[in-house]
Amino acid sequence: MRKFFQEIKADLKFKTAGPGQKLSEPSRVPKEKPKAGPAPKPRQGPTDEAQMAAAAALARMELKPKAKPPSSQEAIKNQVRKELLAEAAASQKGFSVEEKDLAAPDKEGAAAPSVSGVYFICPLSGAVVRKDKKEEHVREAIQSYFSVDPVAASIMEIHTFNKDREKVRVGVETMAKYLDNIYLHPEEEKYQKIKLQNKVFQERISCLEGIHRFFQAVGFETKTLPVPGQGKKTGDSNPVLLVVETTEEYYVLKEEMLTRLEDLKDYKEQLLSSEPVRAQLDRQLCVFKPSPEAARFELPDDFYNLTAEEIKREQRLRTEAAEKASMLRTRAMREKEEQREMRKYNYTLVRVRFPDGYILQGTFYARESVSVLYNFVREALRDDWLPFELLGPGGLKLTDENLAFNECGLVPSALLTLAWDAAVMADIQAAGEEQPASPLKPELLSRVQTLS
């Protein structure tokens, strides 16, 4: 093979030598033209593509040390340099999220992003929104739900907008106790009033967002009620006892709610069993035609759990790491670096290449388990019962589906290969069953895209 490339290289020199130039291999060129016989037919030189491929291959063979493994210091530096250039290009984009979707690449020939961003699906409205808009949209959706079911909407507020889960748990259990007392002792008037300045109410309940709207929705109203008290006033001779009347704010249950005690019980159960409203990560499922660009990823900033300053710091750290790559490190040092690397990403973009070359793409949380990816692939198959394996870089099988993407090194992006179970496929072929052109569902193939 090496001799073949050397011959092509010599041929390139022969072809490109100009008038008056000394050829690189004069021994291969006749000094005199033949005097007799027909003129020899000019040799057909290799095409431009063959020249470029041969030159590149020969250069790789000449530069690559035979004895060095792929993980040599020089290889690490090259990889780090590539990643630094990609990150620097991402960090220099100063326009907003909306502009990123619409703006053309800054430089001619710049690669388009593999995905425009990270998106979420609101469970209330069904709308798909950008990552930076999801909290605002969920809040608006809950506010709109008050016109449909004010009790459910207020419970959503309590569980969704209060981030301290322990405070929410304590507050919800205290409110449930209030409602339980009313339900179990409807004849006791004292349970139908809640003093707003009560220490327990102030410390456990009043601090929670959405709490007051919940009390109003379940049938309480605010009232100012007198609180009788006594005081002593001393005069010149005998003291005079005075009765002093003060007022305080209360939540008082409306009388009509005493006929709807079962409703109060249901509200209590809803309050205790509800969960926060969370927008669901949109997988952004895409199917691409076979492409040599499958392993190339251009990710937007949404995939990185870093600010602009942190990205610059990471670039510096990576440069330093390249210089120290050949140094011996302790196991604790390696584990610490791995943990830092794992925390850097919130999401990952994964592509699965099928035996026919078609590519399935989806977005996942970096801390989701690989089992989610297996389910994602099965749902895209015509026959979801067909057993398969997913192979990572280097042909490594992803056998432990309980591991997270970041634990398998599949962040912030990865190209995997799907391999069918050989025994099952042999049985299918032996049975003479006609197989479809592609194992993917027709509705997915109907919107197949070209990977740019």
Both 445 and 405 in a single domain? yes
- What CA–CA distance (Å, rounded) separates 250 from 350? 56
pLDDT of residue 309: 61
The verdict on residue 350 lying in a domain is yes
Interval 231-248 mean pLDDT: 61
| pLDDT at 152 > cutoff 50 | yes
- The answer to whether residue 168 sits within a structural domain is yes
User: To the nearest whole percent, how much of the chain has pLDDT over 70?
Assistant: 63
Structure tokens at 311: 């990205």
> Residue 390: inside a domain, yes or no?
yes
Domain with 199 in it: what CATH number? 1.20.58.2190
pTM value surpassing 0.75: no
In 192-343, at which residue ranges do the beta strands (DSSP E only) sit? 193-195, 220-233, 240-253, 280-281, 286-288
In contact, 425 and 387? CB cutoff 8 Å: no
- What's the pLDDT tens digit per position in 311-337? 666 666 666 665 655 555 565 555 555
Residue 387 in any domain: the answer is: yes
Same-domain pairing of 287 and 267: no
- Are 435 and 291 in the same domain? yes
Say whether both 268 and 205 belong to one domain: yes
Work out whether strand 359-365 and strand 388-391 pair parallel, antiparallel, or are unpaired: unpaired
For the cut 50, the answer to whether the pLDDT of residue 22 exceeds it is: no
| Contact between 16 and 55 (Cβ < 8 Å) | no
pLDDT digits (tens, 9 = 90+) for 171-219: 999 999 999 999 999 999 999 999 999 999 999 999 999 999 999 999 9
Residue 8: the pLDDT is 42
Q: Which of these ranges, 40-49, 165-174, 305-314, has the smallest mean pLDDT?
A: 40-49
Q: How far apart are CA 258 and CA 262, in angstroms?
A: 9
pLDDT reported for residue 135: 93
Domain shared by 131 and 220, yes or no: yes
Q: Which two tokens stand for residue 240?
A: 């005079």
- Within a domain: residue 396? yes
Is the same domain home to 158 and 258? Answer: yes
Let me know whether 266 and 141 are in one domain. yes
CA–CA distances in Å: residue 109 to residues 163, 207, 289, 452: 45, 55, 21, 11
pLDDT of residue 205: 94
- For 366, the token pair is 């970096």
Same domain, 347 and 446: yes
> Who contacts 434 (Cβ-Cβ below 8 Å, separation ≥6)?
none
**Which pLDDT score, from 0 to 100, does residue 31 have?**
46
Residue 29 lies in a domain: no
CA distance 117 to 94: 15
- Range picked from 79-88, 284-293, 312-321 for highest mean pLDDT: 284-293
Sign of CA dihedral 115, 116, 119, 125: negative
Bridge partners (DSSP) listed for residue 241: 232
Q: Residue 247 class from Cβ within 10 Å (0-12 exposed, 13-18 middle, 19+ buried)?
A: exposed
In terms of domains, do 289 and 164 share one? no
| 139 is a domain residue | yes
Distance, in Å, from the CA atom of 56 to the CA atom of 64, rounded to the nearest integer, reads 12
pLDDT at 81 over 80: no
How far, in Å, CA of 266 to CA of 273, rounded?
Answer: 11
More confident residue, 436 or 66: 436
387 lies in the same domain as 257: no
- Range from 27-41, 338-352, 423-437, 438-452 carrying the lowest mean pLDDT: 27-41
Tell me the residue range of the domain where 262 lies: 119-230+243-280
Residue-level pLDDT at 319:
66
Total structural domains in the chain? Answer: 2
Residue 56's pLDDT is: 46
Burial 160-170 (b: 16+ CB within 10 A, else e): bbbeeeeebee
Asked if residue 317 is part of any domain, the answer here is: no
Cα distance between residue 264 and residue 340, in whole Å: 49
CA dist 303 and 321 (Å) reads 22
Residue 323's pLDDT is 60
Q: Are residues 359 and 438 in the same domain?
A: yes
pLDDT at 95 over 70: no
Mark whether 357 and 439 lie in a shared domain. Answer: yes
Structure tokens at 407: 């634990």
The DSSP secondary structure of 143-173, one letter per residue, reads HHHTTT-HHHHHHHHHHHH---HHHHHHHHH
- Alpha-carbon span 302 to 345, nearest angstrom: 9
Say which CATH number the domain at 386 has: 3.10.20.90
